[in-house]
Structure 1
Amino acid sequence: MQLHELVNTFGQDLQRRYGERVHKLTLHGGFSCPNRDGTIGRGGCTFCNVASFADESAKLIPIEQQLANRAGEVDRARRYLAYFQAYTNTYAEVETLRHMYEEALRGADIVGLCVGTRPDCVPDAALKLLAEYQQQGYEVWLELGLQTAHEKTLKRINRGHDFDAYDVITRRARALGLKVCCHLIVGLPGETAQDNLSTLKRVVDTGVDGIKLHSLHIVEGSTMAKAWQAGRLEAIGLEEYCDTAALMIQHTPAEVVYHRVSASARRPTLLAPLWCENRWLAMTEIGRRLDATGAQGSAVGAPFVYTQPQCQR
């Protein structure tokens, strides 16, 4: 079976609702981060190096040109979502946000916005602005970087916020009709598969429309890279990640959309685990596990308890 037959994937969800392929175009809005500029902290999250997933040179290019450049790289799509990805994309005055978002929405082939941000950096004015676009008929996703629901880990990775910040802003956003996508990382220092399942339970209990899941990437330039190079941090293996991800997907209600079940980064920025160079490795392995033991939602209602998967290989 193909992955979209086992998981409610974002691509398939868009295809079903729009009747054709819709692709996300990643943008760099030139935003900063309050966990880097001293507002709440410096140095950022210990796992973070934006260059591992975003082109830092793009911030010098106008939004309209970024969209044109990215659309030219995409095959088999005629409609797009403008995805503000790098840093904290609600971290500005609301009129600045309005100008930037509307510059992205001007294109006739843009059907909506995906806005990546922190749960402690979404003021009411930004929520209301995004709700305006949703009410105008645009597809709008608020993508919140949570990573984990465990306070000890949030402190350890220098996240700068607690789970309550996520809970509060998620409930406010969904009350306004906005869709919320939660970003989660498997393989954070000190966390087990049971911890990952506990995080998922709290996210589901709060209410969520989408989930982005990937393994911890240890990347050059991050604080974690120094710990890994000194032998104080171990990268998660492919088998362990796929076992955990499959269980999380099985415990996820079928209506929740998975925007991602794995992610990739490239060397030399990526230090470990090297299997993350190819996101299809994990996607294929997760699909095999789900095909053998149950698709998304098959464990809903069962206890959120980790047991070693018995996968037919």
Structure 2
Amino acid sequence: MQLTEYINTLGKDLKKRYGERVHKLTLNGDFTCPNRDGVLGRGGCTFCNVSAFSDESQAQQSIAVQLASRASEVSHKANKYLAYFQAYTSTYAEIEQLASLYEQATFNQNIVGLCVGTRPDCVSDDVLNLLSSYLFRGYEVWLELGLQSANDKTLKRINRGHGFAEYQSTCQKARARGIKVCTHLILGLPKESDTDYQQTLRQVVEVGVDGLKLHPLHIVRGAIMEKSWRAGRLTTLSLEQYSQSASSLIRHTPADVIFHRISATAKIEQLVSPLWCEKRWPVQNRIGKLLQELGGQGSAL
């Protein structure tokens, strides 16, 4: 069973358009976040500890070294790449610094595009203009916006520091410039249920979106949520619960939306709960079987 039979995946879309596999190379631009440095708050979002999925020592290396290292790891899989600024808020710097980093990332001739992960409230018009300039040079450009939920009460509860309105505005301005938007959503946030997940999806689709990333809430060491989990005030989804919810969202997603990810993992030394988030294949296989049984992406519309 291949997930691409039931889901419009990024890998499938890129291979169709480029005629070969294109792989993402994760980069660390040594950014921080306004929800950590005091501009909006301290401590970050309650679920966050970037070191659980990203090697923060990577930020001490030049972009060229990072690219070469990451490319060597996947050279047997692909020869064309997307440069992906993943850690923290990768638009949160002076425009000159951003231009320098993005230029370094696209210097390699095997890089066909940029993916930039950020918050909806940290994307100025200058940043959007900079990113759109790469479109005119023939690059693929994805703006990855961490929304997590469209419910403003949930966003306040997890200390996001922004609401849905900021997401809506940034998303519309980016897409008006031709920049593709990939929206990150978390399933299993406190006090949310399938009803909330479906409402978030409806609002995101209504605004307009090009891609989605689905993540299960997982508790990692050092995150604010760790204390709540250890005190018994917070639970996480089982593999089956997440698979059921994620497959339902996929079935309610229009077929032209591209899924960049349908689950997520964390380093085992950092992971507290649920432990099934250590490995990606069990949950991907379960979601695939559910879609095989019930129908693929867009079948529930």
Gaps of 5+ in 2: none
Aligned equivalents of 1:40, 1:64: Cα separation in 2: 32
- Alignment-derived partner of residue 126 in structure 2: 125
- Alignment-derived partner of residue 58 in structure 2: 58
- Alignment-derived partner of residue 113 in structure 1: 114
Per-residue CA deviation, residues 170-212 of structure 1 (Å, 9 max, x unaligned), is 0000000000000000000110011101100000000000000
Alignment of 1:1-313 (within 5 A): 1-74=1-74, 75-300=76-301
Amino acid across the alignment from 1:96:
Q
Aligned equivalents of 1:30, 1:266: Cα separation in 2: 20
Q: How far 1:136 sits from its partner (Å)?
A: 1.2
Q: How far 1:2 sits from its partner (Å)?
A: 1.0
User: Alpha carbon RMSD of aligned pairs, Å?
Assistant: 0.6
Gaps of 5+ in 1: 301-313
Amino acid across the alignment from 2:208:
G
Aligned equivalents of 1:262, 1:87: Cα separation in 2: 19
- Alignment-derived partner of residue 311 in structure 1: none
| Runs of 4+ in structure 1 over 6 Å off | none
Aligned equivalents of 1:61, 1:2: Cα separation in 2: 36
Per-residue CA deviation, residues 222-264 of structure 1 (Å, 9 max, x unaligned), is 0001111111111111111011000100110000000000111
SS at match of 1:111: strand
SS at match of 1:286: helix
SS at match of 1:221: coil
Amino acid across the alignment from 1:181:
C
SS at match of 1:72: helix
Amino acid across the alignment from 2:149:
T
How many pairs align? 300
Q: How far 1:266 sits from its partner (Å)?
A: 2.0
Aligned equivalents of 1:270, 1:80: Cα separation in 2: 29
Aligned equivalents of 2:108, 2:85: Cα separation in 1: 15
Name the TM-score, length of structure 1 as normaliser. 0.95
